[in-house]
Structure 1
Amino acid sequence: MIVQDVITILNEYAPLPYAEDFDNTGLLVGDTSSVLTGVLVTLDTLETVVDEAIENNCNLIVSFHPIIFSGLKKLTGKTYVERTVQKAIKNDISIFAIHTALDNSWNGVNAKMCDVLGLKNRNILLPKTQVIQKLTTFVPSGSVDKVRNALFKTGAGNIGNYSHCSFSIEGKGSFKGEEGSEPTLGQKGELRFEVETQIGITFSKHLRSKVLKALFAAHPYEEVAHEITTLENTNQHLGMGMLGELEEEVPEKDFLALVKSTFKTGCVRHSGLNSKMIKRVAVLGGSGSFAIKAAKAQGADAFVSSDFKYHDFFQAEDKILLCDVGHYESEQYTKELLVDVLTKKITNFAVVLSQTNTNPISYF
């Protein structure tokens, strides 16, 4: 087994194309063809985590946060980032980061927050747009089923809670094979009119290369006319944050106690109490102030996230209970999630849960 095999597993679970543009995900250090000895899963990659990987004979670190976020211009060991990267390189340890690709996954960071809080009836808080694409192609009538089924096998035709979605229009196409052509139908130099079906089919953008490969393999024509457009539809199973419901509504103070114990935090910073009951809860791992407006718009009674600034709490406006549990605390269960994903797929290599507490914040 090699490093690329682990990357493939993670990319299938939380495709990297859905990471945010500002992010730095994927293999940050190392070689995809390196033979695997073991995998260490961590929230952050620090020098101490690299030491832990060495001790456990793991030559791949799967990290939630990327150790390299902005460009590195020097490797002199003057910063914790440089020292960490240097130590990893010296010891032939690869580092892979998944970060916002897992944030945006339906079964990712926010789903895990919902799990530990016991939230049901979930939906995405901020669904992503510009992630559903549409393939349009033209197929001779005798090959329509073959091409369409080949596309379905890639996962194309899935949108929302529906699968095998496509649309067809019959018409007549024309073509004339010129010098160097080898037409499947008709003869070179002959102007030919052929009954064709226009097939339109949607797919998630991370499947693009797979969809095109299947199209070219199944289509009978030497030259396959096709176009790909991006749709405005949102993907209701992809995006930042999640909204769910508690089994039973609880008073605000009871909810705050639940949040504090669940996320094992030394302090829950929160907006003012209004003697309201909490039932509908929004969550977002990491820095979540940008989603306060969405949580209010979707009728959340409370919003659990982190890194709220002073003025962010004014946005509560007595309509929602804002709960800042701390950045590390909101994402702490991500390690266990990634270990579960990998151990279900990898049985012949060690997948180790890092025991290093990488939280840079302490409470007095």
Structure 2
Amino acid sequence: MIVKDVLSLLNDFSPLFYSEDFDNTGLLVGDPTNAVKGILVTLDTLESVIDEAISKNCNVVVSFHPIIFSGLKKIIGRSYVERVVAKAIKNDINIIAVHTALDNSFQGVNAKICEKLGLVNRAVLIPKEQTVKKLVTYAPQKECQSILEALFKAGAGAIGNYDECGFVVQGIGSYRGNESANPVIGEKGVRHQGPEEQIHVTFQSHLENQVVAALFNTHPYEEVAYGITTLENTNQHLGMGMIGTLENEMNETDFLLFLKQSMNTQCIRHSSLLNKKIKKVAVLGGSGSFAIKAAIGKGADVFITADLKYHDFYTAENEILLADIGHYESEQYTKELLHAHLTKKISNFAIVLSEINTNPISYF
């Protein structure tokens, strides 16, 4: 296995295509063609984590947070970022980061928080827009089924909890080839008309190249007529944050105690108690102040996130309980997700869960 293969496995779990524009994900240090000896999974890539990777004979570090976030103009050891990068290069350590790709995944950061809290009936809090596309193409009737099968195999036709979804319309197609054409059906210079079917399938944006490749590899015509459009449909399985419900409602103080224990946090900063029951819960790991209004709009009784500023608490507007559990605390179980996925997919060398607590914040 090479580093590129590890990237492919991570893409299957949470496509890097859906990382936010401001983010820096993928292979940050190393070479995609390097052979993999072992993988260390961590939340953050610090010097101590690189030392741990070296001691455990792991030459790939899979990190949630990217060690390189903004541009590096020099690598002379003046900051922890420069020192990490220099040490990784010196010791042939490859560093991969997934960050907001996993934030946007339906089985990612926020799903893990929901799991810890036992939330049911989960849905994406802020669906990612313009990530659903539709392919329309035309083919001879007898070839339609084989084309559909190829498109489904490439990932098209998946909608929420359903797959192999498509729509076919029968009609009459026509074309005329010039002297350089080699028509599969009909003759050069003569207009051909015959029964065709119009095929419609939807797909997620990151699959476009493989869906189009499947179409061209299967379609019999020399020239394939097709169109791709971006839909306004809500993506049910992609986006920031999640919302779900507790099996049994709780009063606010009982819920905050339950939250503190479930998320293993020493401190919860929260807005004013509203003297109402907690049933519907919204969550967003990491810095989530931008999603407060979305949580209110979805009717959540509480919104759990991190890094709320002083004035953010005012935006609760006595409509919702805001609970800041800490940035590290909200994402601490993320490395377990990555470790479990890679362990399931790879069996021929070690997948190691980092033992280092990378939380930069201490409580007195």
Alignment partners' CA distance in 1, 2:187 and 2:94? 55
In the other structure, the counterpart of 1:291 is 291
Q: Report the Cα offset of residue 223 of structure 1.
A: 1.4
Alignment of structure 1 residues 330-345 onto 2, 5 Å? 330-345=330-345
Alignment of structure 1 residues 101-250 onto 2, 5 Å? 101-250=101-250
Alignment of structure 1 residues 63-74 onto 2, 5 Å? 63-74=63-74
**2:4 aligned with 1:4:** yes
- Amino acid of the structure 2 residue aligned with 1:4: K
Q: Report the Cα offset of residue 302 of structure 1.
A: 0.9
Alignment partners' CA distance in 1, 2:225 and 2:31? 37
- Amino acid of the structure 2 residue aligned with 1:195: P
- Structure 2-normalised TM-score? 0.97
Output one character per residue of 1:18-38: Cα deviation in whole Å (capped at 9) or x when no partner: 111111111111111111100
In the other structure, the counterpart of 1:360 is 360
Q: Report the Cα offset of residue 341 of structure 1.
A: 0.7
Secondary structure, counterpart of 2:237 in structure 1: strand
Alignment partners' CA distance in 2, 1:287 and 1:88? 28
Alignment of structure 1 residues 49-128 onto 2, 5 Å? 49-128=49-128
Alignment partners' CA distance in 2, 1:129 and 1:177? 41
Alignment partners' CA distance in 2, 1:215 and 1:37? 38
**2:24 aligned with 1:24:** yes
**Number of aligned residue pairs:** 364
- Amino acid of the structure 2 residue aligned with 1:15: P
Gaps of 5+ in 2: none
Alignment partners' CA distance in 2, 1:190 and 1:89? 64
Alignment partners' CA distance in 2, 1:357 and 1:336? 13
Alignment of structure 1 residues 33-44 onto 2, 5 Å? 33-44=33-44
Alignment partners' CA distance in 2, 1:189 and 1:317? 72
In the other structure, the counterpart of 1:307 is 307
Output one character per residue of 1:125-184: Cα deviation in whole Å (capped at 9) or x when no partner: 111120100111111222111111211222211112332222223333332333443221
Alignment partners' CA distance in 1, 2:246 and 2:316? 20
Q: Report the Cα offset of residue 305 of structure 1.
A: 0.4
Output one character per residue of 1:310-339: Cα deviation in whole Å (capped at 9) or x when no partner: 111011122211000110110000011111
Alignment partners' CA distance in 2, 1:147 and 1:264? 51
Alignment partners' CA distance in 2, 1:229 and 1:111? 30
Secondary structure, counterpart of 1:235 in structure 2: coil
- Amino acid of the structure 2 residue aligned with 1:167: F
Secondary structure, counterpart of 2:134 in structure 1: strand
Alignment partners' CA distance in 2, 1:225 and 1:69? 42
Deviates more, 1:12-21 or 1:186-195: 186-195
Alignment partners' CA distance in 2, 1:274 and 1:151? 51
Alignment partners' CA distance in 2, 1:15 and 1:44? 20
Alignment partners' CA distance in 2, 1:89 and 1:184? 55
Q: Report the Cα offset of residue 188 of structure 1.
A: 3.0
Q: Report the Cα offset of residue 111 of structure 1.
A: 0.5
Q: Report the Cα offset of residue 243 of structure 1.
A: 0.9
Alignment partners' CA distance in 1, 2:352 and 2:242? 28
Output one character per residue of 1:30-67: Cα deviation in whole Å (capped at 9) or x when no partner: 11111110000010111111111111110100000111
Alignment partners' CA distance in 2, 1:211 and 1:135? 9
Alignment partners' CA distance in 2, 1:116 and 1:168? 43
- Structure 1-normalised TM-score? 0.97
In the other structure, the counterpart of 2:324 is 324
Secondary structure, counterpart of 1:189 in structure 2: coil
- Amino acid of the structure 2 residue aligned with 1:36: V
Alignment partners' CA distance in 1, 2:238 and 2:294? 15
User: 4+ residue stretches of structure 1 with deviation over 6 A?
Assistant: none
In the other structure, the counterpart of 1:267 is 267
Secondary structure, counterpart of 1:232 in structure 2: coil
Alignment partners' CA distance in 2, 1:363 and 1:354? 22
In the other structure, the counterpart of 1:281 is 281
Output one character per residue of 1:283-317: Cα deviation in whole Å (capped at 9) or x when no partner: 11000111111111111111110011111101112
Q: Report the Cα offset of residue 185 of structure 1.
A: 1.6
**Aligned CA-pair RMSD:** 1.3
Deviates more, 1:269-278 or 1:168-177: 168-177
- Amino acid of the structure 1 residue aligned with 2:111: A
Output one character per residue of 1:51-94: Cα deviation in whole Å (capped at 9) or x when no partner: 11111110100000111111222222212111111111111111
